[in-house]
């Protein structure tokens, strides 16, 4: 089940080793906070969140599917992040909560 797989990634804070594409990252110097990317991130991944005034992508949840890329993103601020690092601990307060937008 797709939701179970996401829940496992949330619990382990680990990216699916089978995903071939690198995760994506948002350049907040370009982002206009339109949240279109959040609405287009498939719920089985559910990787994009508002974090204060920033929009973040948790690489451990991002499959690199590109559903958030242009033409969805109007300002082309989302890029592949082949050298990604683990998400900071405070980013993990969002996924899996009752108000998780992907539930």
For residues 96 and 47, is the Cβ–Cβ distance under 8 A?
no
* Residue 3 clears pLDDT 80, i.e. is over it: no
| Residue 87 bridge partners (DSSP) | none
Q: Can you give the residue ranges of every domain in the chain?
A: 2-93
Architecture of domain 2-93: 2-Layer Sandwich (3.30)
For residues 78 and 25, is the Cβ–Cβ distance under 8 A?
yes
- Predicted pLDDT of residue 4: 64
pTM, entire model: 0.92
For residues 48 and 91, is the Cβ–Cβ distance under 8 A?
no
The percent helix, strand, coil of the chain (3-state, each to 5) is 20, 15, 65
Task: Please give the Cα distance from 59 to 26 (Å, whole number).
Answer: 11
The predicted-structure confidence for 74-98, as pLDDT tens digits, reads as follows 999 999 999 999 999 999 999 988 8
The predicted-structure confidence for 10-57, as pLDDT tens digits, reads as follows 999 999 999 999 999 999 999 999 999 999 999 999 999 999 999 999
**Cis peptide bond prior to 71, omega within 30° of 0:** yes
Would you place residue 101 in the very low, low, confident or very high pLDDT band (cuts 50, 70, 90)?
A: confident
């Amino acid at each position: 089940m797709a939701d179970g797989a996401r829940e496992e990634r949330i619990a382990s804070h680990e990216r699916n080793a089978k995903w071939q594409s690198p995760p994506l990252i948002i350049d907040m110097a370009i982002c206009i906070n339109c949240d279109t990317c959040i609405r287009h991130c498939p719920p089985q991944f559910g990787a994009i969140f508002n974090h204060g005034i920033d929009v973040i992508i948790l690489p451990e949840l991002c499959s690199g599917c590109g559903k958030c890329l242009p033409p969805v993103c109007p300002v082309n601020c989302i890029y592949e992040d082949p050298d990604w690092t683990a998400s900071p601990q405070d980013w993990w307060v969002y996924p899996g909560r009752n108000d998780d937008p992907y539930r």
